[in-house]
Structure 1
């Protein structure tokens, strides 16, 4: 089947070579996802160097709160991006622009509400998330300030996702990259020069989020193919409902991650206190490992997010050959990338952990053990992430929702509760690889019949075209 020529002025999502297109969309998406991870990781590195393991433990305790914020952001961003991409593929540009404007307003209002609720219930939430008396002062200082940036965080994630669908993935990358660079510059200034401690790290984070949101806002207000317009800012109910439905799988992924973090934090403190390691040390060490897992996961998510507009546009345009080709390339790329990171974690754990500050021999030994065991099965992540994005982008939200919750809700959380009953603190570590490998098998049970269905549709379309 020949592909339309880009020279005819068609959207590149429907005519550019799939391999080149996936590369051009995925690389900025990977960088954007990595940069989003860097906000927390850079904080943790500088806090570890300047304050110590209690400061790192404070960011670990605060992280479920940040994850819940990200859950709302990714639900709106992914859902809006998927819906707008499908509408652009159907040549309904006005509907795509209405989606951008409606979700912009919804994101801003949702951010304000989340910030207010989080600040009101901050102390009981942090206790729920595993905060101990030694950690709580640091956690409260950090989380209270980061919550103030919630509206900008949601708007930034939404506009970053929409920029990719608008055909400008580099802007999405640049908007987030500028904020991350500022965060990296401000962190050591505020922590080591101004001596603001964890408060300085939090101030650096929200300053960077504000800058990123402003850069992306300027593009859509002044230059985007889709534009923010005053007359369209009132949310359209049917558009918001459909976009939220499509984004539910992404929201579920992050929401379940929040629940998982709460269960893990409390389990680490409980079983850590019953072992020679200690609860605070276990919490701090696993917090570092989870940040490293976030980096590896960001590569998979970046490829999945980068492929999503290609899936959605070509599915809406009926170009199923391109959908199939994109899926195969995305799976191969995500798996190869995360496998490389897995190899580094297994062979050079001490080198990685050194970035996060020093610790005594017991802390280092447990952190190395965490890194090697808990991340042993992470090479399976690419397959699950890309498959979830495929179902989301092709208008199959129920399947996407099931797969997005599979690893953490169906497998990991029960394993975190069950395995420590038999193996104590080690049971928490082994829950990770068991959940990773088990979820890959179950995802395959969804993907195989879907690919058979897609192949049948392609064969039928080719047969009609040859008549």
Structure 2
């Protein structure tokens, strides 16, 4: 363990402007990556339990809930990611008091947010699930899961948001451990509830909520400790309009991205249901878990990049800001290239982990190979989009985040499936990745020239 990491564990974010960029990116990204991979592996293992313990249609039922959960999480990231980014920027400006005040904003706003959204969704759950493509066969599975999951949204919202702030405030390893504990408990409880107690989808959701509760307790204890670099202060419940507005303006990009992702998954499910039926929807549920694993590695990388880029940009250290982007791009593309090769070479082997249903295996394996065709380019697009968010370039980040989902992917989902059926749905994903990369690359080149001019002044 390096000296930089030892100091960062004690909570000294100002090292972000002094230490070697490559070491900082490794030290801040590694815990985030491990945390994200752990969460992704939990979802994969959870789907494996569902597939083998409840059945192939249960996987399809779970896939129906994806767009609903994407939309709910959009409102969580609006506050959580905005708060984490604003925290790192304020650290760069040596404004520790302002960074501490964000804790109360994130906690209160996310709690109220979750209670309102969960209550509305619960009241209209069946019509919502029907609208998102649930057939008579899939509705009971989707309903059972969401009816329990919704009660835990305040816990989930606050835990994820505060964990992100813990990470950017100088405690990346501690943030990783909170994710590790939460996922570990989930992996223990899920098979117990499914195979032993036979609680089905409700047991799966209950395991998720209880595991998130453990993570929330861990994070709250950290921020209640006066020894933590930032912590809850007296009067934390008072909200500042200026701070709230800044958080929301920064968080609007990931908010819209998650909102659009929910919309996109809705059209994916509708297209698959129309051209392939219930099992085709289940195939996407499997493919989504596999794709998400590699994407989350890159997202973890960008989470490590975020405080470094945000701090140095806030401190007007443009050379260091660009250097962290360079390494993030290199490593992000490498990860996605590895994911591309593994998925293209061993699709059936991967899919068989989730189910023994031969038809579902064949649909999933074929769809996986089509969907990840442009994976390496997608890695670069993800890093570039998150970089602009990290330095507070809200309009650019929003544009890059939305362009793939709304401008490119949605039209493709409305056109290609009519000609190519189920293959057209999965092909839409890879074509959108290619176009989005081209747009992100051109935007990056233009902004790079502006940053270099700033450096020369």
TM (norm. structure 2) is: 0.95
Q: What is the alpha-carbon distance in structure 2 between the residues aligned to residue 111 and residue 15 of structure 1?
A: 39
1:275 corresponding residue in structure 2: none
Q: Distance in 1 between matches of 2:354 and 2:173?
A: 30
Equivalent in the alignment of 1:337: 335
Deviation at 1:44, TM superposition (A): 1.2
Does the aligned pair in 2 maintain the 1:166–1:224 contact within 8 Å? no
State the match for 1:358 in structure 2.
356
| 1:55 alignment partner, one of 58, 78, 81 | 58
2:243 aligns to what? Answer: 239
**1:226-247 deviations in Å (ceiling 9; x for gaps):** 1112412222111011111101
Tell me if the contact between 1:285 and 1:367 (Cα under 8 Å) persists in the aligned partners: yes
Shift of 1:10: 7.4
Greater CA drift, 417-426 or 193-202: 417-426
What is the CA–CA distance in structure 2 between the aligned matches of 1:232 and 1:423, rounded to whole Å?
A: 55
Map Cα deviations across residues 398-439 of structure 1 (whole Å, 9 max, x no partner).
110111112111111110111112222221121011001110
1:35 corresponds, among 19, 38, 42, to 38
The 1:133/1:317 distance shift into structure 2, 3 A limit, reads: same
Equivalent residues of 2:352, 2:361 under 8 A apart: no
**Equivalent residue, structure 2, for 1:416:** 413
For structure 2, the residue ranges without an aligned partner over 5 or more in a row are none
On the 8 A contact 2:85/2:250 being kept in 1, the answer is yes
Corresponding residue number in structure 2 for 1:401 = 398
Question: 2:378 — aligned with what?
Answer: 381
The C-alpha deviation readout for 1:4-30, integer Å capped at 9, x for no partner, is 9x99x8711111110010001111111
Partner of 2:275: 271
Q: Measure the CA separation in 2 of the matches of 1:177 and 1:112.
A: 26
Would the alpha carbon gap of residues 196 and 232 (structure 1) be closer, same or farther in structure 2, given more than 3 Å must change? Answer: same
Question: Deviation digits for residues 59-88 of structure 1, max 9, x if unmatched?
Answer: 100111111122122221211111111111
What is residue 118 of structure 2 aligned with on the other side?
115
Match of residue 308 from structure 2: 310
Once residues 75 and 10 of structure 1 are traced to their aligned partners in structure 2, the CA distance between those partners, rounded to angstroms, is: 23
Deviation sequence 1:275-300 (CA, Å, 0-9, x none) = xxxx0111111110011111111011
- Cα shift at 1:135: 0.8
Q: Please say if 1:261 is aligned against 2:259.
A: no
Q: CA RMSD in A?
A: 1.6
For structure 1, the residue ranges without an aligned partner over 5 or more in a row are 273-278, 461-467
- Decide which moves more: 414-423 or 66-75: 66-75
For residue 437 of structure 1, what is the aligned residue in structure 2?
Answer: 434
Instruction: Give the 5 Å matches for 1:294-305.
Output: 294-305=292-303
Say whether the 8 Å CA contact 2:91–2:99 is kept in structure 1. yes
The Cα of 1:381 is off from its aligned counterpart by 2.0
Q: Any residues of structure 2 matched to 1:80-229 within 5 Å, and which?
A: 80-222=83-225, 223-229=227-233
Tell me if 1:367 matches 2:364: yes
Question: Is the contact made by 1:39 and 1:205 (CA closer than 8 Å) also made in structure 2?
Answer: no
Q: 1:184 to 1:308 in 2, by over 3 A?
A: same
Q: How far apart are residue 37 of structure 1 and its match?
A: 2.8
Deviation at 1:39, TM superposition (A): 4.2
The residue number in structure 2 matching 1:463 is: none
CA distance in 1: counterparts of 2:106 and 2:344, whole angstroms: 42
Asked whether the 8 Å contact 2:106–2:162 carries over to 1, the reply is no
